[in-house]
Structure 1
Amino acid sequence: MFRFFESLIDPYPGAVPETPPRRLLAFLFHYSRPLLPLLLAMTFFAAMVSVVEVMFFAFMGELVDWLAEAKRERFFADHGGRLLGMAALALVAFPLLVLCKSLVTHQSLFGNYPMRVRWLAHRYLLEQSLPFFQDEFAGRVSQKVMQTALAIRETVVKLMDVFVYVVVYFTGALVLVGRSEPWLMAPLLVWLLGYLVLMRVFVPRLKLISMAQADARAHMTGRIVDSYTNIQTLKLFAHTQAEQAYARGAMDGFMETVHRQMRLVTQLTVSLQTLNSLLLVTMAGFAILSWHQSLISLGAIAVAIGLVMRLRMMSDWILWEVAGLFENLGTLQDGINTIAQAQAVSDSPKAQELSVPQGEIRFDKVTFSYEAGPRGMDDGNHAARQANVFDNLSLTLRPGERVGLVGASGAGKSTLVNLLLRFFDIGDGRILIDGQDIATVTQASLRRHIGMVTQDTSLLHRSIRDNIRYGRPEASEEEIIEAARRAHADTFIRQASDPQGRTGYDAHVGERGVKLSGGQRQRIAIARVLLKDAPILVLDEATSALDSEVEAAIQEQFYALMEGKTVIAIAHRLSTIAMLDRLVVMDQGRIIESGTHQELLELGGTYAGLWQRQSGGFLGLEAAADAAPIGAAEGQTRGEGEASVPDRQRQ
């Protein structure tokens, strides 16, 4: 029975998540629409439970009157049938109604409902562009997904379950006491008016505080997670005290909202209990006076006092449910601001799968600015926009050609690669792969055909095997091990272990791979790309973290891997790319030189100057900044091209 109700909702729907609406009610309906039949069933059973409870009070009043008037010898003969009927209602019908309501609420909705929201929101956010995650704390985003999912469930359940129960119950109580003596309705109506005034005064203030508290909680979590994520940097610079102060600032902000909230709680609690006591005294006084005037029976007094005592107990619960509702509304609004953001880079409705039979790449008059955004999004405020990183840039890579990109930091090398991967949409022009505009193909198929090794290698907090298999999920164990061997990683992998006792390829690498050295992380990343074996290969300082001996050995594997592939390689160490088919020198988003290593040396231009200034195979860009044309323009390049978006376009 439990399993049947638990399976009525699929918590992991396969449909592609749509962009959620930004309006509150539309946002709630977006995630609740498939669950409406069960939500209505829950509401129906809540209403029936409240009706039966009111019937119990009515029967209690009748029972008091029977006991006051009936003769003992005739009592069961006169009232036995009604007593058995009420017993059946209490022992059979009422528990069945509670069971049905509980099965729908707890088995079907409580667990599956928020998990369904988390699943859909998580899948939607995974498709967000890189700038979305670069502008947010990872902990803050995850916190909002978790909080918003629970807030949606609590808001909808309170609206459809609690308020239906309360409305039906209060209406039934009002009718019940009014049937005996209309004047007995007056204390209830006055109490209701005072109750609504309390909600009008306190609940909106609680809502505002809850919104501030949800944001402060997410901010606090984000700062704490940021410290843990960058624990090595924290320790390297001995900034433990500074990090404590950094987290303390967010904690103080959170505690300030807590104190404001608790002050309102105390005021609200005292006001509510005073109002409830006033209801009890007033109702008891009206009832006794009515009995004294022979207007009502003892049973009516019992019903009136019993309902007041029940309402006293319910009122505190009701008010906090209302406060909780508005608190959840505050959390919801905060979550909407993050979750319901439109995806900056999305597939077109008619996007096709990319096919790469040859591997030609063509940048056709590409114009791009981080501020301007994709085509069609320009707001016309040119003065406020950042200058273009690229302005009518054209570059063609022939099928199977291996091209190295050279230039100072900020020249546009990594930005060019990011545009090829479609991490950003260009402002104008086209990027074509084998004649196919990458804006018209699916992002997933585009990135499946591109293998990339970056300088800043980040691994998943999973096993080494899972990290390598990420390159090709269907790969066999033998293929994974062979890729590790080709990347010269198999030896240290077999010696790896973690605190849980897992060893070798089963050992976990820690968050972002912190348990491994930079060189070990890079070798695993190289093994991952070797396993992927994509027709287009991008190397962004791919061997920068390796020692010379390992680098020389892996270079042989790279040469073999490059065969038949179109390759883009970025390196400040010119010796690692000098043997490529063509070198492209960039400055301020422009191509200023292009040719083979030998041709560029003979040209005697910027590349030749950079090659001459190498020391031990490294490029001294900073030391030569004043002497080299490309270095001298670096400050201007950063100011006009990319410096306003730190780290996003670090070259």
Structure 2
Amino acid sequence: MLSRVLQPLFRYFETRVNPYPEGEVKTPPKGLMPFIVHFSRPMLPLLLLMTLFTALVSAAEVVFFSYMGQLVDWLGNVERAGFWAENGLWLAGLGLLLLIGLPLLVLMQSLVTHQSIFGNYPMIGRWLSHRHMLSQSLAFYQDEFAGRVSQKVMQTALAIRETVTKVMDLLVYAIVYFTGAAYLLGRADLLLLIPLGLWLVGYLSIMRYFVPRLRDVSMAQADARAQMTGRVVDSYSNIQTIKLFADTEREQRYAKDAMEGFMVTVHRQMRLVTIMSVGLTLLNTALLVGTAAMAISAWYTEAISLGVLAIAIALVMRIRFMSDWILWEVAGLFENIGTVQDGMNTIAQKPTINDAPNAKALQVPHGEIVFDALRFQYAQAKGESKNVFDGLSLTIKPGEKIGLIGRSGAGKSTLANLLLRFYDLQGGQILIDGQNIAEVTQTSLRHQIGMVTQDTSLLHRSLRDNIRYGSPHASDEDVWNAVCRAHADTFINDLVDPKGRRGLDAHVGERGVKLSGGQRQRIAIARVLLKNAPILVLDEATSALDSEVEAAIQEQLDTLMEGKTVIAIAHRLSTIAMLDRLIVVDEGRMVESGTHQELLARNGIYASLWQRQSGGFLGLDIDGNGPNQQ
């Protein structure tokens, strides 16, 4: 009932800030405070309001203790006869004020804190971090565990909230309360401040010693936790490989090594906690005994009243319980700061592939591709880099269909990745219809290119969502037409996921693990058929298909390639022999170019490869030294 009455109030405070800020995606700054402020700007007015209400609540508690002391003194002197007649109305009013005023104050503080801040604040951090991480380059994710990155996005956003709210809420509450308590005790008798002052010196000493040590171990623990999670997620993501090689014991050791590293930080942390708890208990007990002794002595000499004695004991008891809470919260504050600093090292990295200032959308009226004097090498350890391309030039005419041939490491897939601008060149340029791809937006570039790879990865969503991924506005009829053209209709209707979803609604599992390699590849082909981009890249597009299905799909690929510029990469030469031009690449150089017949007549490398084919596969290295390891 009460929840329904408060629903409009809850909703009002829950919507005071948008948890999904729009606008340009920016790289967070690397300094701790600028990094925190970057994710906190939308929350600043609400954080200040929370701090104000916290200060008021803390002050109200001190005032309440003061009134209780005065009440004790008053009750000690008032006559019982006619007490209720003379004071009942005043006492009832005071009780009503406490019953209504303080809860209302706490309600406003709680609405701002829990409805406006606690849910929205970390979501702002997650949303902005996620948008930024999506802009990172392919190379970034090749050097990171996906589980480790995702955990840092989740953990860091929460740690930012905890850091800021602890500083602005906890410390304000403690400062206001402690100042008020010191004022009340000092006003009664300055001697009562001596135990409180000594306690404060000891308390700050404990914090100075333990908090930095807890911060350091917490930073190490956050990194160890991320490493442990990354290894576990890596095992689960590659469970098929683990099962295939029957090596679960190695995986257990691999995970256990990270878990043991995490436990080392846990033991260090808990040892500090035990020593700190014992020290704080001794300090708080000394405060209680010292204050009680001095207050009783002052009362005995009639320096203070019984009400002041009651206030002193009550305030010290409250401070005693608060001190333990505050110290743990401060330790938690530095633990969260450690988590933020650890996450900042990952999240605040600038993307290596960026759109040029004022980049325009790519227009592809014809489809000419020019690779002009390309120079490229993958980033490696200093002194170990080797050029993949050093001056490669190649022009593909509008609508021309070329096949790239060469052994592994020759640079075929790298050329496709450079065309998609997954990496930036060290020299030269790539032009599409005269437009340098480094000067157009990455989004528009990739919208104009359809690609089917040998290692097809699907999203853990429905088949419909996967097929429609490059064409979000396509109708269900268009989706099903692409499915039929890719010969995926032969198995889709039979698919059922664990939640009972069928056909196009069935979810395919992480990376499409619930489908066979051939099924995944047919879905990928359907996706590209539906996208219908003017430039088509086929990297072993039919390698996972059996011969019968490949022959059927080849007809659809022939139709798909009509009017498009095509780059096809294949080790099975029979799949690309009928293309307009075949190019043999070796060690980043174009060594032969021509039609299938022209290259056979030349009796060079291609002719040698063709003769060595067994069942249509490239079986040997082009130098003839052994089998080609693909």
| TM, length-normalised to structure 1 | 0.93
Q: CA deviation at 1:80?
A: 5.7
> Given residue 136 of structure 1, which amino acid in structure 2 is its aligned partner?
E
Residues 597-608 of structure 1 aligned to structure 2 (within 5 Å): 597-608=596-607
Contact kept? 1:371, 1:385, Cα under 8 Å: no
Partner SS for 1:342: coil
Select 1:98's aligned residue among 106, 114, 133.
106
Q: Which ranges of 4 or more aligned residues in structure 1 deviate by more than 6 Å?
A: none
Write the deviation string for residues 128-153 of structure 1: whole angstroms up to 9, x where unpaired: 00111111111111111110011011
Name 1:375's counterpart in structure 2.
none
Name 1:450's counterpart in structure 2.
449
Is 1:147 aligned with 2:146? no
Is 1:3 aligned with 2:25? no
Name 1:294's counterpart in structure 2.
302
Contact kept? 2:609, 2:622, Cα under 8 Å: no
Q: CA deviation at 1:572?
A: 0.5
Is 1:222 aligned with 2:230? yes
Partner SS for 1:626: coil
> Given residue 181 of structure 2, which amino acid in structure 1 is its aligned partner?
A
Name 1:576's counterpart in structure 2.
575
Select 1:26's aligned residue among 20, 29, 34.
34
Q: CA deviation at 1:6?
A: 0.5
Partner SS for 1:537: strand
Q: CA deviation at 1:68?
A: 1.5
Contact kept? 1:366, 1:430, Cα under 8 Å: yes
Is 1:183 aligned with 2:191? yes
Is 1:429 aligned with 2:437? no
Name 2:368's counterpart in structure 1.
360
Is 1:162 aligned with 2:170? yes
> Given residue 147 of structure 2, which amino acid in structure 1 is its aligned partner?
G
Name 2:590's counterpart in structure 1.
591
| Cα 1:176–1:77 shift into 2, 3 Å | farther
Is 1:195 aligned with 2:194? no
> Given residue 571 of structure 1, which amino acid in structure 2 is its aligned partner?
A
| Cα 1:314–1:204 shift into 2, 3 Å | same
1:620 & 1:171 partners in 2: Cα distance? 83
Is 1:44 aligned with 2:43? no
Select 2:250's aligned residue among 236, 242, 251.
242
Is 1:113 aligned with 2:121? yes
2:55 & 2:83 partners in 1: Cα distance? 33
Is 1:476 aligned with 2:484? no
> Given residue 326 of structure 2, which amino acid in structure 1 is its aligned partner?
I
Contact kept? 2:400, 2:565, Cα under 8 Å: yes
Select 2:219's aligned residue among 211, 215, 224.
211
1:191 & 1:33 partners in 2: Cα distance? 37
> Given residue 472 of structure 2, which amino acid in structure 1 is its aligned partner?
P
Write the deviation string for residues 566-615 of structure 1: whole angstroms up to 9, x where unpaired: 00000011111111111111111111111111111111211111111111
Q: CA deviation at 1:87?
A: 2.2
1:398 & 1:327 partners in 2: Cα distance? 60
Q: CA deviation at 1:86?
A: 3.4
Name 2:530's counterpart in structure 1.
531
1:595 & 1:255 partners in 2: Cα distance? 62
Partner SS for 2:428: strand
Q: CA deviation at 1:384?
A: 3.0
> Given residue 155 of structure 2, which amino acid in structure 1 is its aligned partner?
Q
Write the deviation string for residues 422-475 of structure 1: whole angstroms up to 9, x where unpaired: 001111211111111111111111000000000000111111111111131111
> Given residue 151 of structure 1, which amino acid in structure 2 is its aligned partner?
A
> Given residue 362 of structure 1, which amino acid in structure 2 is its aligned partner?
V
| Cα 1:484–1:182 shift into 2, 3 Å | same
Q: CA deviation at 1:11?
A: 1.1
1:153 & 1:464 partners in 2: Cα distance? 37
Percent of aligned pairs with the same amino acid: 67
Is 1:487 aligned with 2:486? yes
Partner SS for 1:451: strand
2:159 & 2:145 partners in 1: Cα distance? 21
Contact kept? 1:585, 1:594, Cα under 8 Å: yes
Contact kept? 2:573, 2:617, Cα under 8 Å: yes
Name 1:418's counterpart in structure 2.
417
Q: CA deviation at 1:291?
A: 1.3
| Cα 1:56–1:420 shift into 2, 3 Å | same
Partner SS for 2:81: helix
1:86 & 1:586 partners in 2: Cα distance? 91
| Cα 1:333–1:450 shift into 2, 3 Å | same
1:136 & 1:258 partners in 2: Cα distance? 24
Is 1:343 aligned with 2:351? yes
Partner SS for 1:366: strand
1:355 & 1:83 partners in 2: Cα distance? 81
Partner SS for 1:404: strand
> Given residue 10 of structure 2, which amino acid in structure 1 is its aligned partner?
F
Partner SS for 1:73: coil
> Given residue 396 of structure 1, which amino acid in structure 2 is its aligned partner?
T
Name 1:638's counterpart in structure 2.
none
The range that moved more, 286-295 or 409-418, is 286-295
Contact kept? 1:613, 1:620, Cα under 8 Å: yes
Name 2:3's counterpart in structure 1.
none
Name 1:637's counterpart in structure 2.
none
The range that moved more, 18-27 or 256-265, is 256-265
> Given residue 578 of structure 1, which amino acid in structure 2 is its aligned partner?
A
Q: CA deviation at 1:204?
A: 0.8
Contact kept? 2:458, 2:512, Cα under 8 Å: yes
Residues 251-270 of structure 1 aligned to structure 2 (within 5 Å): 251-270=259-278
Partner SS for 2:359: coil
Partner SS for 1:599: helix
2:55 & 2:96 partners in 1: Cα distance? 19
2:334 & 2:565 partners in 1: Cα distance? 57
| Cα 1:623–1:421 shift into 2, 3 Å | closer
Name 1:320's counterpart in structure 2.
328
1:73 & 1:198 partners in 2: Cα distance? 53
Partner SS for 2:483: helix
Name 1:334's counterpart in structure 2.
342
Q: CA deviation at 1:21?
A: 0.6
Write the deviation string for residues 181-227 of structure 1: whole angstroms up to 9, x where unpaired: 01111111111111111111111111111111111111111111111
1:349 & 1:183 partners in 2: Cα distance? 68
Partner SS for 1:365: strand
| Cα 1:486–1:200 shift into 2, 3 Å | same
1:331 & 1:410 partners in 2: Cα distance? 40
The range that moved more, 576-585 or 65-74, is 65-74
Partner SS for 1:384: coil
Contact kept? 2:620, 2:626, Cα under 8 Å: no
Partner SS for 1:410: coil
Q: CA deviation at 1:543?
A: 0.3
Name 1:130's counterpart in structure 2.
138
Name 2:462's counterpart in structure 1.
463
> Given residue 350 of structure 1, which amino acid in structure 2 is its aligned partner?
N
Q: CA deviation at 1:78?
A: 6.9
> Given residue 461 of structure 1, which amino acid in structure 2 is its aligned partner?
H
| TM, length-normalised to structure 2 | 0.96
Contact kept? 2:30, 2:348, Cα under 8 Å: yes
Contact kept? 2:497, 2:506, Cα under 8 Å: yes
Q: CA deviation at 1:621?
A: 2.8
Residues 64-79 of structure 1 aligned to structure 2 (within 5 Å): 64-73=72-81, 75=83
Write the deviation string for residues 506-559 of structure 1: whole angstroms up to 9, x where unpaired: 111111111111000000000000000000000000000000011011111111
Contact kept? 2:148, 2:230, Cα under 8 Å: yes
2:261 & 2:588 partners in 1: Cα distance? 43
1:348 & 1:63 partners in 2: Cα distance? 73
Count, aligned residues: 622
Unaligned stretches of 5+ in structure 2? Answer: 1-8
Partner SS for 1:559: helix
